[in-house]
Amino acid sequence: MRTLRRYDVKHSYYFITICTWGREELLLSEPEMFWASWIDFKPFAWIILPDHFHIMIENQDVSISDIVHRFKIRYSRAFRDKYKSGRVWQNRFWDHIIRNDDDFNRHLDYIHYNPVKHEYIDDPFKWKFSSLSEYYKEGYYTRDWGNNEALEFKGEFGE
């Protein structure tokens, strides 16, 4: 497999998508395991779906590859200790450096609208595995956001 070269811009915000191996639906069975695996870094925007998740995170002084690697190793070890199964994650992950406020807002909206996009629910506020309620409390969203009409997002988001 070719070596993938990633841009590593210190103290930048990144949008990340990580999928389970074979898109197996296992993430919602252990949300505590998910959060326990983020020891060094905490995502500031996130959505957990059955077979993948999206986060936005600041990389500080550590490369985004190292951050993701640490998370995947911790989660995989904990998952295998509990379930004695094989692979948990796909080999690679999708990353995007957030370029400006508009890019930030577009990715934040994408994260929070994702369970509606995948037709798990029709109201993004009903999805409990999301940072949407935190942003709502901060006044970033109104309660009717994502309910009145289907939102469309242009670009790639790693799915």
pLDDT digits (tens, 9 = 90+) for 117-135: 999 999 999 999 999 999 9
pLDDT at position 1 over 60: no
Q: Supply the pLDDT for residue 61.
A: 86
Q: Where are the domains of the chain?
A: 13-137
pLDDT at position 158 over 70: no
| Confidence label for 3 from pLDDT (cuts 50, 70 and 90) | low
Q: Supply the pLDDT for residue 111.
A: 97
* Residue showing tokens 């469309």: 152
Both tokens of residue 38? 């983020």
| Confidence label for 156 from pLDDT (cuts 50, 70 and 90) | low
| Confidence label for 83 from pLDDT (cuts 50, 70 and 90) | confident
Q: In terms of pLDDT, which residue wins out, 8 or 45?
A: 45
CA distance 130 to 49: 9
CA distance 112 to 127: 9
Give backbone dihedrals phi and psi of 129, rounded to 5 degrees, phi first.
-100, 60
Give backbone dihedrals phi and psi of 44, rounded to 5 degrees, phi first.
-100, -10
13-137: CATH homologous superfamily?
A: Transposase IS200-like (3.30.70.1290)
